[in-house]
Structure 1
Amino acid sequence: MTTLDAAVLDDPFGCALRGRHARFARAHGSAIAYRRDVSVFYAHPRELTGDDYADLATLAGPGGTVGLRGRSTPLPTGWDALETFELVLYTGEAVEPAADPEFVALTGGDVPEMTALVDLTRPGPFLPRTIELGDYLGYRDPGTGRLLAMAGERAKPDGWTEISAVCTHPDARGRGLARRLIAAVADGIVARGDLPFLHTTADNPARALYESMGFVHRATVPLEIVRVPS
């Protein structure tokens, strides 16, 4: 597997929005974000100035929320910090991809079921058009056809594709579905010439699974959810 430049992962959403995901972007000045029905993520300069904060506020709208990645400058007056996560970034150069015939490709018609599974298991944000960001695979119960597990693709900075929305219904846990789905999504990524990466939170027990599959920790950064003035 070819090793690609990992520097783009310092700003994966910004690189994706200015590149292969440009069709999903909305921008103002130095700030850029996904369309509201596609994803919640914003990108911004590392050292934020007053003008940068103003650009973010314009994109978010009065009283809107913004995710700030690795903020190192004070919030302007009137901005409120709501929550902070330790966001962990893993790269998957050593992950072994593996196609799996038991999984089915998910499409727009599956979004209601996908959303219900995400709401139940909470792997991260999944919006009505998130499925358009990349390929999604699912596992359906052979008897009932019920969607029991899924995983797919999110940000696509140059040379990399993020694996996201990995989730399994409580009724199907313990079968190794998450591991197989990650390997199957990685198979599609590698077939296109990309390398896989993923984000999780510092306290997520799934980190043990990711590391056992060969994902390597690259960085941990604070992701701060802030509200702009109303």
Structure 2
Amino acid sequence: MHNYAALDNPVWHALQTTHKTFAQGTERVQRYPADTLQFVGCADPLHADLNEILPWIAVGEKMIMIGELPVLPSNWTLLRQLDCIQMVCDEETSVASPDVVPLENIEEMLTLVNLVQPGFFYKNTPLLGTYYGIYQEGQLVAIAGERTKITGLVEVSAVCTHPAFTGRGYAQQLVAHIVNKNVEKGNALYLHFLTNNERARKVYERLGFRDRRAIVFWEVVRNS
């Protein structure tokens, strides 16, 4: 059985399990390295003191928290609330992925993801898991990969297609490939998308993903 309850607080549980080597912080508040992922998690979000993490966060640095938001100290500001849907999948899909290849060129990945979804992908983000892509005439035109990981659970993220190449089923191929690779290993998959992104929902539902819960991504910044 998969521990889906851990997905209520995915960043914290990732940093306690599969991604423990990335953890920076205290016993109660931890983050990923700044050049890897701007995510921070708390053992008990509703009673956490974010100022515990100050030695590991620069003034002016923006961070993302997922799930419950702690009471922010006076030297922190809430910048954005991103309302999302969290979906899960634990079965292989029959969707073929003939064009998918593993990626190695970090600059290509950075260029494409930051064109489509700026602010969530950094030079060491590919260290978190395996990233895959689709090329057309030597150009990387679509990407998806594995981001946060909890024991037995892998997040699908960075699902991006170059605007000139949308509508060709590339995202579906990429996510299907990641699903099948992980289900073969006994892992379940999870992902997040903005609540108003019906196009993404349709793609994921076709691949066997189902709603687990509504969840919020909170963008906060340390002011001092």
Q: Same fold (TM over 0.5)?
A: yes
Equivalent of 1:20, from 3, 6, 18?
18
- Whether the aligned pair in 1 keeps the contact of 2:38 and 2:62 (CA below 8 Å) is no
Q: What is the CA-CA distance between 1:38 and the residue it aligns to?
A: 1.0
Distance 1:152 1:72 in 2: 26
Q: What is the CA-CA distance between 1:24 and the residue it aligns to?
A: 1.6
| Residues 85-135 of structure 1, C-alpha deviations (whole Å, 9 max, x = no match) | 11321101245165634211111xx11111111122117611101111111
2:149 is paired with a residue whose SS is coil
Moved runs in structure 1, 4+ residues, more than 4 A? none
- Whether the aligned pair in 2 keeps the contact of 1:97 and 1:184 (CA below 8 Å) is no
Q: Which amino acid is the alignment partner of residue 199 of structure 1?
A: H
Distance 2:76 2:36 in 1: 25
Match of 2:191 in 1: 198
Q: Does 1:222 align with 2:216?
A: yes
- Of stretches 98-107 and 186-195 in structure 1, the one that deviates more from structure 2 is 98-107
- Whether the aligned pair in 2 keeps the contact of 1:67 and 1:226 (CA below 8 Å) is yes
Q: Does 1:213 align with 2:207?
A: yes
Q: 1:129 to 1:31 in 2, by over 3 A?
A: same
Match of 1:31 in 2: 29
Distance 2:69 2:79 in 1: 16
Distance 1:191 1:94 in 2: 9
Q: 1:59 to 1:132 in 2, by over 3 A?
A: same
Q: Gaps spanning 5+ residues in structure 2: where?
A: none
Match of 1:55 in 2: 52
Match of 1:154 in 2: 147
Query: Taking every aligned residue pair, what percent have the same amino acid on both sides?
Result: 33
| Residues 168-189 of structure 1, C-alpha deviations (whole Å, 9 max, x = no match) | 1122211111111110111111
Match of 1:113 in 2: 108
Distance 1:64 1:172 in 2: 33
1:36 is paired with a residue whose SS is coil
| Residues 29-72 of structure 1, C-alpha deviations (whole Å, 9 max, x = no match) | 411111111111111122134xx222133332333223233345
Q: Does 1:75 align with 2:49?
A: no
- TM-score in terms of structure 1 length: 0.88
Distance 2:139 2:57 in 1: 36
- Whether the aligned pair in 1 keeps the contact of 2:84 and 2:194 (CA below 8 Å) is yes
- Of stretches 69-78 and 17-26 in structure 1, the one that deviates more from structure 2 is 69-78
- Whether the aligned pair in 2 keeps the contact of 1:87 and 1:200 (CA below 8 Å) is yes
1:120 is paired with a residue whose SS is helix
Q: Which amino acid is the alignment partner of residue 48 of structure 1?
A: H
Equivalent of 2:133, from 138, 143, 149?
138
Q: What is the CA-CA distance between 1:73 and the residue it aligns to?
A: 4.8
RMSD (CA atoms): 2.0
Q: Which amino acid is the alignment partner of residue 15 of structure 1?
A: H
Distance 1:123 1:179 in 2: 21
Equivalent of 2:158, from 165, 169, 188?
165
1:90 is paired with a residue whose SS is strand
- Whether the aligned pair in 2 keeps the contact of 1:39 and 1:125 (CA below 8 Å) is yes
- Whether the aligned pair in 2 keeps the contact of 1:24 and 1:35 (CA below 8 Å) is yes
2:35 is paired with a residue whose SS is coil
Distance 2:30 2:70 in 1: 18
2:148 is paired with a residue whose SS is coil
